Amino acid sequence: MSEPMRLRATLQGDVADVRILMRHPMETGTRKDAKGEIVPVHFIQSVTVNHNGKTVLEAQWSQAISRDPFLGLRVKGAKAGDKISVTWTDNKGDKRTDETTVAAPS
Amino acid sequence: MKAIKLAMVFAPVVVAVGCASFPDADETRSSAEQMVKEAFPGMPETLTRRAMQDPAQRTCSIVGDAKLSPEQAAQVVQTSQASFKYPASGKLAGDWKAGAKLAADGAGLRIRGGQVEKMKENGGLCVNCHALDPQDVNVGNVGPSLTGYGAQRGSSDAVVKYTYEKIYNAWAYFPCSNMPRLGHNGFLTPEQITHVVAYLVDPQSPVNKK
Amino acid sequence: MTRSVYAGLTAAALFCAAVPLSAQNSADALAIGRQMLAEDNPGELWAQRGERLFAEKRGPKGASLERCDLGLGPGKVAGAFAQLPRYFADTDKVQDLESRLMTCMVELQGFKREDIIRNRFGTPDRDSDMEALVSYVGSKSNRMQMDMPLAHAKEREFYKSGEYLFFRRSGPLDFSCATCHTEDGKRVRLQDLPNMMDPKQMQMVVSTGWPAYRGTQASVRTMQHRLYDCNWQMRQADLGFASDTSVALTSYLNGRAKGGVIQLPGVRR
């Protein structure tokens, strides 16, 4: 089971500042383990971010993205309490969706 | 007068029962040395004995702002001078190219999982702390810059001998300096030290080029 | 599609903005990098996992750590890190966070000490529960000040022993901690060395330093690992996890960091 993402969405005016941390090994397929054997390629291939159910970002990733990746974006026209959900799918077919609500500025 | 006497009588009692008193130096030493003995569980004695101090290391473990006394310094200098060993060939300046490799090599004798790293020879560790080749920016500054060492001092027999001895056992010249006693501790062989000497003094060495 | 292009452009714009600054000097450029990492620190993922592990019923005894006394009473996590290491009457020992968590995992959950020690440092193939738990507990002292107690005689013994050990030279390189950490502006190669005689630098090391996500190791590491690694570089045998030596050194460092404002986990190279 994969680790939940760490999501933060904070309102700045009518823009939500969305920050996403994902726990993923993002194996490049070139790294060798302690025994000297190649660790199979394993990386997040696609990321989708939805704002109240409407897709606002779609990304195709490669193994060039770092381990434990960070993604930041700004969503226009957001209000406090709006739902932001993030889904990633990796090359092994593992999938994870997490959701947060947009917080008013503190 | 009476008050002073009373204070003197009471002072030790206050220290003994005082709730914020720290252990004294002897108590601290015996407590900490016991901790060192137990610091490496499961490790063989051949490795844990590295943590045991020789007399000079003990003298040079100066806590906080304490200072080395002139007598202690003289003692360290004397035993360190007596430690010098020279290569069988008697030649104290070797091959500067071999010395350049040693100077840049920071490995040797490290222990992971109870295993000592396997190396043909230990590195000299020099650039970890000293600037040497002026073209090399990836150098430390814990020790002084040695760029231009030979260009400034020449390569006379006296300079070569001093340089060899300084690397062999730095404490013979600077008691308790940060510099490891690379020859005395057996980290580098006498032959390896002659190569590092050459790297420092040879006019052809990058250390002495602009 | 257009949105993802926009996101890419934003990233490029950020990168360009950093370029003129990097020309000033390397320390400034590094500070910018650190700032960006601190805001979105992967170490937060360890703290999040640690929070879950803390509350989960685990181990042979099927218990959570919610009865674990980290010094402020059973289950009280907030502020505990700020006052560690400290003396614990039940074990009659001075313990740092790692050592105390190990006690709780053994006593409350029934885990084996040897297994905890074997898994003390995470690898790319296996996360360490200890590193996650330390990240969580550390982060629950955020915005508080380091305030290690010295009321108990054993706490003072450990602090003074730690000081002694900090200056104690040994090994084939004659090193002590003090060799590298008692002057300003020193480096081994290009790696900056904090001057631990300066309370401000000491506070940085402790209150925002460890546990930290290490980019080079793709994992959170704790103070126990930092000490283990220094000890390795000094050519000593493997330093025992939660050994008295490691706890005494931590007492000395944490004691000297008094007043440092905690912000954990940190981010390091």
Residue C35 and residue C45 in one domain: no
Q: What is the CATH number of the domain that holds B119?
A: 1.10.760.10
Phi, psi angles (nearest 5°) of residue B71: -65, -45
> Residue C127: its pLDDT value, please?
93
Q: Which of A3, A31, A58 sits opposite C45 (nearest CB)?
A: A3
Residues C239 and C220: their CA atoms lie apart, in Å, by 19
For A59, the enclosing helix (H) or strand (E) is strand A54-60
- Cβ-Cβ contacts under 8 Å, A59 against chain C: 4, 7
Residue C246 and residue C196 in one domain: yes
Chain B: touching chains (3 or more CB pairs < 8 Å): C
- pLDDT level of residue A34 (50, 70, 90 thresholds): confident
Residue C28 and residue C71 in one domain: no
Q: Domain total for chain B?
A: 2
Cβ contact (<8 Å) for C3 and A57? yes
The alpha carbon of residue C42 and the mean position of all alpha carbons in its chain are separated, in whole angstroms, by 15
Q: Which of B50, B57, B138 sits opposite C189 (nearest CB)?
A: B138
Cis peptide before C194 (omega within 30 of 0): no
Q: Domain total for chain C?
A: 2
> Residue B18: its pLDDT value, please?
47
Residue C84 and residue C128 in one domain: yes
The fraction of chain C above a pLDDT of 70, given in percent, is 90
Residue B72: inside a domain = no
Residue A1: inside a domain = no
Q: Which of B40, B128, B140 sits opposite C237 (nearest CB)?
A: B40
Beta strands A83-90 and A44-51: pairing type? antiparallel
**Contacts with B124 (C-beta within 8 Å, 6 or more apart), sequence order:** B99, B102, B103, B105, B182, B188, B192, B196
> Residue C184: its pLDDT value, please?
96
Residue B199: inside a domain = yes
Residue B64: inside a domain = no
Residue B109 and residue B35 in one domain: no
The pair of structure tokens assigned to B160 is 């070569």
Q: Is C5 on the interface with A (CB under 8 A)?
A: no
The alpha carbon of residue B158 and the mean position of all alpha carbons in its chain are separated, in whole angstroms, by 23
Residue to mutate among B31, B121, B189, B192, with most C CBs inside 10 A, is B31
Residue C30 and residue C56 in one domain: no
> Residue C35: its pLDDT value, please?
75
Task: Please calculate the CA angle B104-B109-B112 and round it to the nearest 5 degrees.
Answer: 115
Residue range B70-121, pLDDT digits in tens: 999 999 999 999 999 999 999 999 999 999 999 999 999 999 999 999 999 9
Q: Is C39 on the interface with A (CB under 8 A)?
A: yes
Residue range C152-200, pLDDT digits in tens: 999 999 999 999 999 999 999 999 999 999 999 999 999 999 999 999 9
Q: Return the top range by mean pLDDT from B9-23, C18-32, C37-51.
A: C37-51
Task: Please calculate the CA angle C265-C266-C268 and round it to the nearest 5 degrees.
Answer: 140
> Residue B65: its pLDDT value, please?
87
Is C230 among the catalytic positions?
yes
The answer, yes or no, to whether residue C11 has pLDDT greater than 50, is no
Residue to mutate among C36, C39, C40, C267, with most A CBs inside 10 A, is C40
Model's pTM, two decimal places? Answer: 0.89
DSSP C6-42: HHHHHHHHHHHHHHHHHTT-HHHHHHHHHHHHHHT-T
The pair of structure tokens assigned to C15 is 């990168």
The answer, yes or no, to whether residue B19 has pLDDT greater than 60, is no
Give the chain B residue nearest C195 (alpha carbons).
B142
Q: Domain total for chain A?
A: 1
Cβ contact (<8 Å) for C45 and A70? no
Q: What is the CATH number of the domain that holds C65?
A: 1.10.760.10
> Residue A106: its pLDDT value, please?
76
Residue C32 and residue C162 in one domain: no
Give Cα separations from C249 to A85, B54, C11, C257 (angstroms). Answer: 45, 22, 42, 12
Residue with the larger pLDDT of the pair B26 and A34: B26
Residue A106: inside a domain = no
**Amino acid type, B161:** K
> Residue A1: its pLDDT value, please?
61
Quote the minimal CA–CA distance from C216 to chain A in Å.
11
Please say whether the beta carbons of A2 and A83 come within 8 A: no
> Residue B2: its pLDDT value, please?
44
What is the ipTM, given to two decimal places?
Answer: 0.90
Residue C29 and residue C60 in one domain: no
Residue C170 and residue C201 in one domain: yes
Residue C151 and residue C233 in one domain: yes
Residues C105 and C70: their CA atoms lie apart, in Å, by 12
Q: Is A73 on the interface with C (CB under 8 A)?
A: yes
Range scoring the smallest mean pLDDT among C10-24, C73-87, C252-266: C10-24
Domain span at residue A74 reads 6-30+39-101
Residue B27 and residue B117 in one domain: no
Residues B77 and C134: their CA atoms lie apart, in Å, by 46
Whose CA is closest to C167, among C156, C155, C182, C152? Answer: C182
- Cβ-Cβ contacts under 8 Å, C218 against chain A: 67-68
The pair of structure tokens assigned to B161 is 């001998």
Q: Which of A31, A33, A57 sits opposite C4 (nearest CB)?
A: A57
Q: CB burial class (10 A; 0-12, 13-18, 19+) of residue A92?
A: exposed
Give the chain A residue nearest C44 (alpha carbons).
A6
Give the chain B residue nearest C246 (alpha carbons).
B39
Residue B19 and residue B103 in one domain: no
Residue range B73-84, pLDDT digits in tens: 999 999 999 999
Residue C25 and residue C139 in one domain: no
Residue range B4-15, pLDDT digits in tens: 444 444 444 444
Phi, psi angles (nearest 5°) of residue A46: -140, 145
Residue B47: inside a domain = no
- Taken in order C119, C123, C128, C132, the sign of the CA dihedral is positive
Please say whether the beta carbons of B39 and B138 come within 8 A: no
Domain span at residue B148 reads 96-208
Instruction: Please give the order of strands across the beta sheet that includes A83-90.
Output: A54-60, A44-51, A83-90, A95-101
**Amino acid type, C194:** P
- Cβ-Cβ contacts under 8 Å, C153 against chain B: 23
Domain span at residue C12 reads 1-40
For A19, the enclosing helix (H) or strand (E) is strand A15-21
Write down the mean pLDDT value for chain C: 90
Residue C214 and residue C153 in one domain: yes
Do B and A touch, 3+ Cβ pairs within 8 Å? The answer is: no
Q: Which residues between 114 and 173 in chain B have a beta carbon less than 8 angstroms from any beta carbon of chain C?
A: 114, 125, 127-129, 137-142
- pLDDT level of residue B207 (50, 70, 90 thresholds): very high
The pair of structure tokens assigned to A89 is 């799918």
Residues A48 and A84: their CA atoms lie apart, in Å, by 10
Please say whether the beta carbons of C141 and C130 come within 8 A: no
* Active-site choice (C16, C68, C104, C230): C230
Q: What is the CATH number of the domain that holds A75?
A: 2.60.40.10
- pLDDT level of residue C25 (50, 70, 90 thresholds): low
Residue C101 and residue C206 in one domain: yes
Residue range B135-171, pLDDT digits in tens: 999 999 999 999 999 999 999 999 999 999 999 999 9
> Residue C4: its pLDDT value, please?
41
Q: Which residues between 198 and 227 in chain C have a beta carbon less than 8 angstroms from any beta carbon of chain A?
A: 218
